[in-house]
A and B are shown apart, each in its own frame.
Chain A
Amino acid sequence: MKIVVCIKQVPDTTEVRLDPKTNTLIRDGVPSIINPDDKSGIEAALQLKEQCPGSTVTVLCMGPPQADVALREALAMGCDEAILLSDRAFGGADTWATSSTLAAALKKIGYDIIITGRQAIDGDTAQVGPQIAEHLGLPQISYVENIQVESEDTLVVQRQFEGFYHIIEIKTPCLLTALSQLATPRYMTVHGVMDAYREKEVKLWTLADIEDTVDKANLGLKGSPTRVMKSFTKQAKGAGTVLKDLSDDEAVAAIIAKLQEKHII
């Protein structure tokens, strides 16, 4: 089985800083990590590989050159191959342009199973995975918590659905979006780190490498239909009001009155 995991390098903080002019993320000076849902996806892929001998795990990332280290980490965890999609033409992409670019690369790589994270902790859109599946015309299951290999071309997948689970059978090729709960990512190993730099490589793919599988109108900032109207840092709210010495009924009445006063209900 050929498994491809799409990962994103994200800032290691919940305080994402935005460039007020371009409304895009400022990455400089912020420590970066592999997006947590994506890292679980890597672990799930490595477990599938262990279950199905002969399988390979390729990890794919679109990002600036410094995303190389995220791919090296994936290699040090045990992935076989890494590809960094990096070109100025891809810069400033929204989810549409990102998924178009990744899908174009995936057509070149080939796949049986594509795993993406559910969503990234910086953008929180949860759109890229499902969009890739649409671009490629693949069946998809999102919010995946468990994957079992049923037969050579069939998986049984447990997906989270509000308070319930769906157990779904799916034929490969397919796309799954992973929740952090799917698998606890393993640590790199020391020799894995050494191999990641000495034995393995991160292949750099630019626009030239996917030119024939992508519509250039769908790339980068220009190919992004989403326009951010305004970006701003959330202001801290004032201290809450504490209502003391009320009976249960009085407390409920006071809360409802407050909500009505604020036009929330």
Chain B
Amino acid sequence: MVEFTLTKEQQLAQKLFRDFAENEIRPLAREMDETEEYNMELLEKMKKLGFFGIQYPKELGGEGADTLTYTLCMEEVSKVDASTGITISVHASLGCMLLEKYGTEYQKEAFLRPLIDGRKVSCIALTEPSAGTDASAIKTTAVRDGDHYILNGQKVFITNSGFADIFFIFALTDRAAGGVKGMSLFVLEKGMSGLEVSKNIPRMGIRAAQNCEVTMIDVKVPAENLVGVENKGYKLAMEAFGSGRIGIGAQAVGIAQGALNEVIKYTKERKQFGKTIASFQNTQFKIAEMQTKIDAARFLVWRAAKAKDNHEDYASYAAMCKLFASDVAVQITRDCVQLMGGYGYSREYPVERMYRDAKITEIYEGTSEAMRMIVAGKILK
């Protein structure tokens, strides 16, 4: 069935996310961007309210909501701060999702429960200096040694690694077989000997997110921390990022809507040639076009979320929503800066930050080019 309205509980959850974003995140967003530091008090508040376990069952420690409700959270927080969006998304939609689906009872109790009940935060590490879109090219290794695996390697651009308690690490357990057939997933914990995290990598946008290099030198990991079956990790990686894209789509919608909301407010106040710039047809047409694109992107996100909740094959829906929404976010934030002119370019207003933040949505968790490959692959198979 086609649904374009939210249920009452989704609407009330949306109000919670919106109120929190406006009152708690908005006042900190600019400072966090400028200092490139995430505010840890803010993180703690969100953990307590359940923002880090929205789409997980209560029995496992989660909040018992659905994926669509999670996208509402992603959109509302990203309207005011995309860094907060990615912080939640990386935690909630990748490693946790894999543990819920493939984790052992021990792993669910020891790792998943504290992650989704708000005690701990996670990151997931696939990307390496020489393995981006071609994830199969990873070089990190995990060598079995009795009851343990010994991990060695270097990961890069790992969001949340700066403050994560749990690290989901992809490593080769069969080097000869290569990434697709020889990769496995492990749960590592902060403080394990040989696990090192670098400083935040300087970036163009989402600067408050903690995105660092993770290095492993002879890290001894208990064999019971292997997630799923040995050498079947590539499929897990693809599945995790396939699911994560729904959140990135929602983040992109949030960035675009947040920027447009700023522009609507501004153009109603700003006067040129004796009247508000909102009264010029150019502005009106532009705003109408932008809202139309955002709504279209949002519905693609909701379709993907709904398909996931209904246990349908959502991979191409997720790829489409990310492809379209990220493109919309980049276009719209650029146009919003243009409509606000010099003020849009100034750091006094948030749209310049949103313009910088939007770009990454076309890159991470699968580039737009990779999204086109997935969508075309589904259509042409």
Contacts and interface: CB of A to CB of B under 8 A. Distances in A.
Q: Do A and B bind each other?
A: yes
Interface of A: 69, 72-73, 76, 187-191, 193-194, 196-198
A190 B49 contact: yes
Nearest to B51: A190
A189 B69 CA distance: 13
B8 A190 contact: no
Contacts of A196: 9, 12
A69 B7 CA distance: 12
B12 A76 contact: yes
A46 to B, nearest CB: 15
B17 to A, nearest CB: 9
Contacts of B15: 73, 188
Contacts of A69: 8, 11-12
Interface string B45-77: 000111101100010000111000100010000
Task: Choose among A76, A190, A191 the residue with the greatest number of B CB atoms under 10 Å from its CB.
Answer: A190
B16 A188 contact: yes
A76 B64 contact: no
Contact of A72 (B8, B58, B64, B73): B8
B163 interface: no
B295 to A, nearest CB: 20
Contacts of B63: 189-191, 194
17 contacts: A72-B12, A189-B16, A189-B49, A190-B13, A190-B51, A190-B54, A190-B63, A190-B65, A191-B63, A191-B64, A193-B9, A193-B12, A193-B65, A194-B63, A196-B12, A197-B8, A198-B9
Contacts of B19: 187
Contacts, number: 55
A189 B20 CA distance: 10
A197 B16 CA distance: 14
Contacts of A187: 16, 19-20, 49
Contacts of A188: 12, 15-16, 49
A72 B50 CA distance: 18
Contacts of A194: 9, 13, 58, 63-65
Contacts of A190: 13, 16, 49-51, 53-54, 63, 65, 69, 73
Contacts of B12: 69, 72-73, 76, 188, 193, 196-197
Contact of A189 (B50, B58, B73): B50
Given A73-B12, A188-B16, A194-B9, 17 more contacts: A69-B11, A69-B12, A72-B8, A72-B12, A76-B16, A187-B19, A187-B20, A188-B12, A189-B48, A189-B63, A190-B51, A190-B65, A190-B69, A191-B50, A194-B58, A194-B64, A198-B64
Contacts of A72: 8, 12
Interface in B1-51: 8-9, 11-13, 15-16, 19-20, 48-51
Nearest to B73: A190
Nearest to A75: B12
Nearest to A186: B49
A70 to B, nearest CB: 10
Contacts of B54: 190
Contacts of A76: 12, 16
Closest CB pairs A-B (n = 4)? A190-B50, A190-B63, A197-B9, A191-B63
B16 A193 contact: yes
A72 B9 CA distance: 9
Task: Choose among A187, A193, A196, A198 the residue with the greatest number of B CB atoms under 10 Å from its CB.
Answer: A193
Nearest to A196: B12
Contact of A191 (B8, B11, B20, B58): B58
A138 B268 CA distance: 52
Task: Choose among B8, B16, B48, B73 the residue with the greatest number of A CB atoms under 10 Å from its CB.
Answer: B16
Contacts of A193: 9, 12-13, 16, 65
